[in-house]
Structure 1
Amino acid sequence: MSDSSTVRGTAHAALITAPGSGQGKSMVTAALARLHRNAGRRVRVFKHGPDYLDPMLQEVASGAPVYQLHPWMTGEAECRWRLAEAAGEADLVLVEGSMGLFDGSPSSADLAILAGLPALPVIDAAGMAQTFGAVARGLADFHPDLAIHEVIANRVGSPGHGRLLDDSMPDGLSLLGAIPRHAAMAIPDRHLGLVQATELEGLDAQLDAAAAVLAEAGLDRLPARVSLEAARPAPPLRRLAGRRIAVARDAAFAFLYRGNLALLEAMGAELAFFSPLADAALPECDALWLPGGYPELHAARLADNVAMREAIRAHHAAGKPILAECGGLMACMECLADGEGDRHAMLGLLPGEARMAGRLQGIGLQVLATDRGELRGHTFHHSRLDTPAAPWAHARRQSGSEAEAIFRQGSLVASYFHGYFPSAPELVAALFRGEPLTPTPSAGDPDETR
């Protein structure tokens, strides 16, 4: 490869992980990012897996854009490229893992091994003493290709408790720091994950306080330096040049991958953001994107905004493309029944209603295969549809089994499925240009990494 086609960088780097969910790794990652940012260092944070909410927190903490990395969904080549590019411009690169270190396929550990990053587990030490060392040893020894040299103890009860944990560490592993239980290290969540960063009052002050907690616990030391190298991707064809896409973005519709937005712009699209909650009209546009979010929390306001509802209906009636994902799909129904059972009028572009359920209705990685490519992504929702509409297609799980329904109604394409646009640029361009698409069987084993 020539120099112009290669990205190289060297930076302090680590993948922040845990034995399982709920150990505190999101806030520890954010506090580390803010600690080193406050020290004058350039910090980049990434998130393993299909997650919208954690990246919002990490962007506030680091002051820099946060992209998703996942060897199956975003592809191995993109993981290597984004990390190498970040290492070339930042002093510190952190990747927040998902679930437990070895959970999922591919797991956070798989990403660390692929990229050559050391893993730094955060272990909830509440109710634990010498067993802490055994948990750390088990994580470190589970995979021979994964580098773990130190761990972080979280929710430590006292200095004496911290000394017990330190004394339990086996040979070859060290305790980087023991974080005490502290209000600054807690962040609220709801049914889809963390509360959106834009909804948290005083978040900057809390992050500064959390950074101070970590500094007091001795966590101001940088992780090891890592040298990364990757091929620079070829730019996509400018299939959306001259097209203006209106993108809903507010408290009700906020689940937007930065990689998706960047691809649309790289293909030549102009993005015009608007609020279905507050605005009375759509911006002038050729196509419309209604992403996921929390329409169920704002259903009454959406129903009351009759002017916006009529503007979107007119856009649809004019045959202009609309892509609606998850929360966007819910908004396209005739009505939405919120968590209290109250029914609210929605756009009426699809017959039937969306209803909040008492438990998770869909989760996991999926792929939509068409004659224009295979769009990879995921689903995660707590509502269900009651509709007579027949699906146009179905996404498929990694196992190959049939999953989320994809609906087409005129120029509308809507589903609970969230797509990662860079996995299928030609398909995405066809969606926003309103061009024909034909569903096809998956081209191969969905578990095969691109």
Structure 2
Amino acid sequence: MNRFIYRFFRFSYALEQSRRRRLTTGGLIILLCLIISATLGLDSTQNLTYQIFTFLLSILIISIVSSRFFAFRFSAVRILPRFATVGVKLKYRLVIHNKTNKIQHNLKLLESFADPRPTFKEFSETPEPNEEKRNSFDRYLGYYRWLWLIARKRVATAKAIDLPALPPNSKTEVVYEITPDYRGVIRFADLTVIRPDPFGLFNACVTNYLPQSLLVLPKLYNLPPIKLPGLRRYQSGGVALASSVGDAEEFRSLREYRPGDPMRKIHWKSWAKVGKPIVKEEQDEFFVRHALILDTFLNVKYSEILEEAIAIAASLACEVQTQESLLDLMFVGHEAYCFTFGRSLSHTDKMLEILASVVACQDKTFDSIIPVVMERISLLSGCICIFLTWDESRQKLVNYLKGMGIHTLVLIIQEKSTHLENLDVKSLTDQLATFHLLKLGKIQEELMKI
């Protein structure tokens, strides 16, 4: 039964997309009136409703036939920015080349994305957020879950725009606008030029395949100034991690070469003078380094709480990188990852790219992130933890960080109606760890209290 429902939804979605593209609102009204008049006019001896049916059918046939004579040839270039951001309307340029010898009027342009229909496995195994609020019939059919998955996989929404008059054999630049609703990759498929028939009932369409993709970054929250505690630590291989701002490795002295010294430290002018290898000695590097631990451990692929955690991580990482420090982003997806940003290593855009691609970890436990933290514990000055819940394993990690003398900021995201409602964060806060509870739906307000 579930597979039948899935196939019905797939067919209905394709039919609806074709209807939206071809049939205007006026055409839909005419079609409904046509069906009603056909039903009421079955007995032509009793009423004259069949005449209305004949009239409406004639108009609709004329509209459909006239659309077949739309001879338009065009090409297009889509000029996209490097990124988009969730919730921020994206405007970009399109260059339309009219390849006909006639001026074209009354046209519309529509962007189409790659097929967003989920697979049967995704449809059957992915729960919709707030699905528990639906009645049992809605949950069984999964219609709202289908619509939600379509929107989630499509990533953005687009509406048709009116085109200006297109001169013959010339190029015209227009501005298109879409709204990114979710982080991920927007996969553009084709561009369609639409012209309604003289009655405005049926659209003639000419489509050009123009595949492109655009990465949508997580949304960003406004944050108050955050000063993370922690002392400077010695960084092994400091010159590779130091930037031109402060703490740059400085020359200290010269000495004879020792086996194992790197070639880059050889002072060639001194070698030429004394006739034997001479190397430069430089001061050690000490600067601030923080860890940002992102909790991704969920038993579902898509979740509002994970999206909020990623948005908070992106906002915090952008804030921390305005300070003169290093930031280690740690999370577990298909495997454990640790990426270092700040100073001369990497820029904020790269970090946001990584966060835009984070997926839920469904097949591992929270303990799988601990080895990643332990590997860099001696380098860390402080730590930010973004947790999706609070339990024994997460408490164990925080206690370990405190035991190592690492100042820790712990942000716990609270879903509605969970056991965290009774969590007393004030009792957990001490000299080395500060706790904050962030409620879904009030994330921005809660962040401003940090």
Compute the TM-score of the two structures, normalised by the length of structure 2. Answer: 0.25
Flag the structure with larger Rg: 2
Determine which structure has the larger helix proportion and give its number: 2
